Structure 1
Amino acid sequence: MRLVSSSATLAFILLLYCCHLILGQKSDSALTLVENTEGGGRGEGGNDDDEEEMTVDEDEGDLEVVQPTEEWQTLKPGQAVPTGAHVRLNLQTGQREVRLGEEQLKYWTHGHRDKEEIQTLFSPDELKQAMKKIKEDLNSVSTDQQIMKRMLEQLNSSKLSTEQRLNVLLELEYLVHQVDNAQTLCSMGGLQFILQGLNSSDFRLQESSAFVLGSAVASNPVVQVKVVESGALQMLLTILATTQPVRVKKKVLFAVASLLRHFPYAQHYFLSHGGLQVLSELFRADGGGVLRTRIVTMLYDMISEKERITQAGLDPMLDASHEERVHQSSKVTLQGELLEKGWCSLVPQLLESTEHDCREKALQALLAMANVCLEQYHSDSFLLGSLLSLRDQYEEMILSEMIPGEENSYFAEIVELIDALQIKIK
């Protein structure tokens, strides 16, 4: 829920209420009672700044409370002053006088003087009514579930324009980052509207729908299962395999990667339905290299995750859910698919990129694939030459005084990846 405005108003009202209490209203805090004494202060050593204070509780009587100002003002017998105020005996007149304390003076003399009249803007009753009104407003704010329900009703309307649909999808994407909201959206039938958007002939609706889907399934196993069962993965692969704008394919790759992450069942479905073949064709067609890094990163994540699950499978203390994940992961024949679909020669091409991040992702993937691609690495003259050239380049960059110190460690990590891969190949 977006309660920023109401919360800010409440904080402001509370501040006003506190100022009202501090600057003159009777409160539950201690007050200083000025005694009715005549004459001098502390004998010959007295001075006109000496204070005599007595702390009393308000319930001892209906005291008249003085509101101090910056100027000294005369106190009448029996009057009380707020804690923190300065009281003195004026030796010339013999009268008690009061003004604001030092801390209070600092406050009023540092740009707050213009707020002095705030204390008169609201009475205690008015403040109570205002706070009650704020509470009622907060109670009337719609929950995320109510908001999503209205959004789905809008998406179900044939009168909604494309621009309006795009705005609704944008709001949905914001909401489904919350795990509970994404699950609620599915239970309310919202997934069908996302699939309708993916199947639209308008590429803008495809892009936005894929974005919502990717955000909804991210780290959300409940939604991941429902999305796979809905047939959405096949729709996403179809979009990647057909002629579509790059901006659409970016969001679709995001949705696919989010759906496959930590979900061996979806990975098995992806492989058995030609997912790696679709990605290899997309990789070859991506002359600009915009999608290649995303594709290789997805592959690296899948390889690394399978290795972790396989290693975890050796732990005898695993519970039933882990055992099921290990069982599902055993069906993911990723390494053999990578070799068969030509990825051992495709990934090295990413080393041609001038982007350090692209090179890093390629080196990580090449290392992860080394067990099945080692024979091809040995005969790949382009790969071997690229590794030597890149190592020299990054060594020079590390030694160069032109490179900031923080980047040296990053470049050193890339050199370590190159060294590790060269050791594997030897």
Structure 2
Amino acid sequence: MQLMSSRARGAALLLLLLHFCHSASSTQGHKSASALAVMETTGGGDEEEEVTLEEDEGDLEVVQPTEEWQTLQPGQAVPAGSHVRLNLQTGQREVRLGEEQLKYWTQEHRETEESRSSFSPTELKRAMKKIKEDMNPASKDQQKTFRPMEELKRDMAKLDLMVETDVQIMRRLLESFNSSESTTEQKLSVLMELEYLVHQVDNAQTLCWMGGLQLLLEGLNSSDFRLQQSCAFVLGSAVSSNPLVQVKAVESGALQTLLTMLATAQPLPVTKKVLFAVASLLRNFPYAQRHFLSHGGLQVLSELFRADRGGVLRTRIVTMLYDMISEKELISQTGLGLDAAHEERLRQYSAVSLQGELREKGWCSLVPQLLESTEHDYREKALRALLAMAPVCLDQYRSDGSLLGSLLSLREQYQEMVQSEMIVGEENGYFGEIVELINALQVKIK
């Protein structure tokens, strides 16, 4: 038997479609519009049709599709979104659930719908609307979430909210601090808030322009040591890594005030905060370092170092000196000819004779005393400072029998600790770093 040509197959398919439309029309009687709209799709094998339900009056016998293909009788309707195909082998129309229906028509829906054999067009439209809503929950959420702007403004006005900027907050805090009705506790609370705010560079500069710097300097002379401590803390935070505030503080006489406080007996908490403020003011600021040296800063620190037996202040002082030496060496090693700003910094640091002042003020013999501490952190900082001071202190180191004996004793002690670290699997640990510092210092001294 010869195969049917493509033109003959197309004619046969057209006849079958016409037969389908005629059957659907005759089933509905006087109804002029068919309940099904058929769209032919291309492809091999069975031909699939996309079926949509049109508006009509009266009840229709609706077939409930399943996941499997089932034969569709003439005159029967199917829900929108179903897959319908024409089986060319049997000549029958077949139907099954579409992809979206498989998600929607759960077992619960099936049990409800199977109890009924027909639906009215109104009910079918309502079901289609329900499917669309279930498939697009975001539209419902947006209707619930978004509100008119005018309504939001009215609600905000009812809450009587006032959002303050940092500038407004600082102005209010300064007014509260200067108020004659403010108690000491209230002033301490103000200073605590200011300390938090001035960590931002802009806020610290704004505080100076508002007169806050003068307020802090006056607070350093207060008779209440708690106000002195808090004012020194705020001042140190404001000048830290903030060149503009550092310049303003030096010009306002802050350095002289702080050195005077260090030279007089103060409670330990106050002295610690004052040292913090001095260190912050001097860091990366050669202009202030030169003023520090010219106003006898090293002499003040040496007296404070000798008076401290606990080691807390000694460690802070030695760390500050080490930072000053290291930053000058770092600038010098960067090289010449980078830019005008770098050249200016080199010129300013060259005017700071820190190393020579340290030797003249006896720091070559003072710093080794910190090695007598039992705290590992104190010893580490002392060793780093001794290495930084070695270029001008080697003669004193070599003649200091106490220093040489301490280095030998400490090396043996930390070698044992390094062995303990290696046993527990900690290679290149903290104690190993201390041994390296001792070895480096011994090499320089030999």
TM-score by length of 2: 0.71
Map of 2:274 onto structure 1 = 252
CA deviation after TM superposition for structure 1 residue 290, in Å: 1.3
Judge conservation of contact 1:207–1:247 (CA < 8 Å) in 2.
yes
Q: 1:176–1:216: 8 Å Cα contact kept in structure 2? A: yes
The structure having more radius of gyration, on CA atoms, is 2
State the secondary structure of the residue aligned to 1:53.
helix
Structure 1, residues 354-413: CA drift from partner, whole Å, max 9, x if none? 211111111100000001100010011111111111111111111116975458522111
Is residue 100 of structure 2 the alignment partner of residue 53 of structure 1? yes
Name the CA shift for 1:190/1:418 in 2 (closer, same or farther; >3 Å).
same
* Corresponding residue of 2:394: 374
TM superposition shift of 1:323: 2.0
Equivalent residues of 2:305, 2:314 under 8 A apart: yes
The answer for the alignment partner of 1:189 in structure 2 is 211
Residue 309 of structure 1 deviates from its aligned partner by: 2.1
Question: How many pairs were matched up?
Answer: 352
Q: CA deviation at 1:269?
A: 0.3
What is the aligned counterpart of 1:318 among 325, 330, 339? 339
Asked if 1:169 corresponds to 2:191, the answer is yes
Aligned-pair CA distance for 1:216: 0.3
Structure 2 residue 435 is matched with structure 1 residue 386 = no
Q: 1:193 to 1:311 in 2, by over 3 A?
A: same
Q: Show the 5 A alignment for 1:290-301.
A: 290-301=312-323
* Contact 1:34/1:52, CA 8 A, preserved across alignment: no
Q: In 2, distance between residues paired with 1:289 and 1:228?
A: 29
Deviation at 1:311, TM superposition (A): 2.6
The 3 A distance-change label for structure 1 pair 133 and 285 is: same
Specify which of 243, 259, 264 is matched with residue 237 of structure 1: 259
Q: Is the 8 A contact 2:67 2:97 kept in 1?
A: no
1:142 alignment partner, SS class: coil
Deviations 1:251-285 (A, max 9, x none): 11110000000000000000000000010110110
Counterpart-to-counterpart distance in 2, 1:354 and 1:228: 37
CA offset digits 1:56-91 (Å, max 9, x no partner):
xxxxxxxxxxx99996466941223467958xxxxx
Q: CA deviation at 1:287?
A: 0.8
Structure 2 alignment gaps of length 5 or more: 1-50, 55-60, 71-81, 83-94, 114-118
Which residue of structure 2 aligns with residue 306 of structure 1?
Answer: 328
Per the alignment, residue 419 of structure 1 pairs with: 439
Report the alpha carbon displacement of residue 34 of structure 1 after superposing the two structures with TM: 9.2
CA–CA distance in structure 1, aligned partners of residues 365 and 230 of structure 2: 34
| 1:284 pairs with 2:306 | yes
Name the SS of the counterpart of 1:211 in structure 2.
Answer: helix
Amino acid corresponding to residue 416 of structure 1 in structure 2: E
The CA distance in 1 between the partners of 2:167 and 2:106, in whole Å, is: 53
Mapped partners of 2:105, 2:277: distance in 1: 66
Query: 1: distance between equivalents of 2:257 and 2:180?
Result: 23
Q: Secondary structure at the match of 2:336?
A: coil
Structure 2 counterparts to residues 215-226 of structure 1, below 5 A: 215-226=237-248
Task: Indicate whether 1:201 and 2:223 are aligned.
Answer: yes
Q: Partner residue of 1:399?
A: 419
| Equivalent residue, structure 2, for 1:158 | 180
Q: Does residue 284 of structure 2 align to residue 262 of structure 1?
A: yes
> Is 1:341 aligned to residue 341 of structure 2?
no
User: Do the aligned partners of 2:421 and 2:429 also contact (CA within 8 Å) in 1?
Assistant: no
Residue identity opposite 2:404 in structure 1: L
Equivalent residue for 2:370, pick from 350, 356, 370? 350
Once residues 403 and 205 of structure 1 are traced to their aligned partners in structure 2, the CA distance between those partners, rounded to angstroms, is 51
For 1:402 and 1:424, the matched residues in 2 are separated by 27
Query: Kindly tell me: are residues 83 and 213 of structure 1, through their superposed partners in 2, closer, same or farther at Cα, counting changes over 3 Å?
Result: farther
Deviation at 1:156, TM superposition (A): 1.7
Q: 8 Å contact 2:69–2:96 — kept in the other structure? A: no
Distance change >3 Å, CA 202–CA 407, structure 1 → 2: farther
- Aligned counterpart, 1:90: none
Contact 1:224–1:259 at 8 Å: present in 2 too?
yes
Which of 225, 233, 253 is residue 211 of structure 1 equivalent to? Answer: 233
1:129 to 2:178 alignment: no
Deviations 1:109-151 (A, max 9, x none): xxxxxxxxx98x9675489834874599898400000000111
Equivalent of residue 65 in structure 2, options 41, 48, 55: 41
Percentage identity across paired residues of the two chains: 64
Normalising by the residue count of structure 1, what TM-score does the alignment of the two structures yield? 0.74
CA distance in 1, matches of 2:52, 2:189: 67
Cα distance in structure 1, aligned partners of 2:408 and 2:363:
21
CA distance in 2, matches of 1:131, 1:189: 37
Q: Secondary structure at the match of 2:124?
A: coil
What is the alpha-carbon root mean square deviation over aligned residues?
3.6
1:23-77 CA distances to partner (integer Å, 9 max, x unpaired)? xxxxxxxxxx9958821425854699944539xxxxxxxxxxxx99996466941
Whether the 8 Å contact between 1:397 and 1:403 is mirrored in structure 2 is no
State the Cα deviation string for residues 231-254 of structure 1 (Å, max 9, x = none): 011110111111101110111111
Once the two structures are TM-superposed, the CA of residue 168 in structure 1 deviates from its matched residue by 0.3
